[in-house]
Structure 1
Amino acid sequence: MEELKSTLLFDMTLDIPPGYQLPDGPLGTRVIAPIAGGTFDGPRIAGKVLPGGGDWLIIRSDGVMAVDVRVMLEPNEGGVIYASYGGRIAIPAEVMPQALNPETVENVAPSEYYFRSTPLFETANSSPHAWLNGIVAVGVGRLLSGGVSYRVYAIE
């Protein structure tokens, strides 16, 4: 059986203002946060994240956060790419106070918690980036004050 191989697709930063909470729902606490914009930059593709996307995060009863994000990417060459992804954030209890505090979050190394996502892409078949329609990607996330960042890899 072949081992997974990956190549860097891009680094992405999302600007996420404070969201809205729906506590104590049947699946846990839901946090709905708008995505105000951002950037992405990689060897084959770069551009900006358009405002209007969102994250429909669920904080489960076990403390693990289930990520559910949809964003629109605008490459420098023009056009639009829709990206949707799920994922998980698991922060150990001893790191949680710092990791969830905007004033201290950036002092917490990403190695101190688990933050992974699985982006899928959709763009026009005529786009120079149509190759994204046929790949699976994995993102390694980092919590930031005012947002998140990802290093996204294409799985070969």
Structure 2
Amino acid sequence: MTAALAVPPGLSFLAELSVTVGEPIDVGPTPEGHRRLIPITGGTLRGPALNGRVLPGGADCQLLRGPTLTELDARYVLETDAGHRIFVHNTALRHGSSRDIELLNSGAAVDPSKIYFRCWPRLTTAAPELDWLNTRLTLGTGVREPGRVVICIFTVH
């Protein structure tokens, strides 16, 4: 392996998303795991280059793999202050003790330091001014709070 390949990529802060959510729709235990659908009702987008809002109408499809691990698959749309729309497909892992995950799933607040919440938001857009989003990977860290999820997104370079 060459030395250049062994250097980890850097990250630059892109934006903070505050995504408001509705009451979970519980499907229940399935052969793949316990399924829930969390409606996305709105929110904000704030960052050095992107500002706007989260449009209502998306959802986070959750799969509780067990008492300590949840897989998240959220899809929703952002609208910038300039009126450009960005489609978000965010996949994530959330892990914590069985008690802390149970509290999160009930809507209670849990100390974020007790929960591993990492994500890969894929951002795509038709806006020529934001075309660079179509060609970049982003990673994020998340915190679940009562009524909302806060995600800090970083561009990988």
- Normalised by the length of structure 1, the TM-score is 0.91
**Whole-Å separation in 2 of the counterparts to 1:23 and 1:97:** 14
**1:138 and 1:75 mapped to 2: Cα distance?**
20
Q: For structure 2, list consecutive stretches of 5 or more residues without a partner in the other structure.
A: 1-5
Q: Which residue in the other structure is 1:27 paired with?
A: 32
1:135–1:155 CA contact under 8 A, matched in 2: yes
Q: Deviations over 1:26-50 (max 9, x none)?
A: 1111101110011010011110000
Matched letter for residue 153 of structure 1: F
Q: Identity, % of aligned pairs?
A: 27
CA contact (8 A) 1:47 1:74 kept: yes
- The AA in structure 1 aligned to 2:17 is M
SS at match of 2:56: strand
SS at 1:36 equivalent: strand
Distance 2:65 2:100 in 1: 17
C-alpha distance in 1 between matches for 2:105 and 2:39? 17
- Whichever residue aligns with residue 69 of structure 2, its letter is V
| Deviations 1:39-85, CA, capped at 9 Å, x for gaps | 01001111000011111000013531000000100011112110101
Stretches of structure 1 lacking an aligned partner (at least 5 in a row) = none
Q: Does 1:54 align with 2:59?
A: yes
AA partner of residue 118 (structure 1)? W
- 1:113 is aligned, of 112, 115, 121, to 115
Question: How many correspondences in the alignment?
Answer: 152
Residues 1:5 and 1:75: Cα distance change in structure 2 (over 3 Å): same
Task: State the shift of 1:137 in Å.
Answer: 0.7
How far 1:3 sits from its partner (Å)?
1.3
Where does structure 1 differ by over 2 angstroms across 4 or more consecutive aligned residues? 93-102
Q: Which has the higher mean CA deviation after the structures are superposed, 85-94 or 74-83?
A: 85-94
Matched-pair contact (CA < 8 Å) for 2:139–2:153: yes
Who is 1:11 aligned against? Answer: 16
Match of 2:148 in 1: 147
- State the shift of 1:89 in Å: 0.4
Q: Work out the CA distance in 2 between the residues paired with 1:97 and 1:57.
A: 14
Q: Secondary structure at the match of 1:61?
A: coil
Partners of 1:40 and 1:47 within 8 A in 2: yes
Tell me the equivalent position of 1:92: 97
Q: Confirm or deny that 1:64 pairs with 2:66.
A: no
The answer to whether residue 7 in structure 2 is matched with residue 2 in structure 1 is yes
Q: Distance in 2 between matches of 1:123 and 1:101?
A: 34
Paired with 2:76 and 2:105, the residues of 1 have a C-alpha distance of 23
**Aligned counterpart, 1:136:** 137
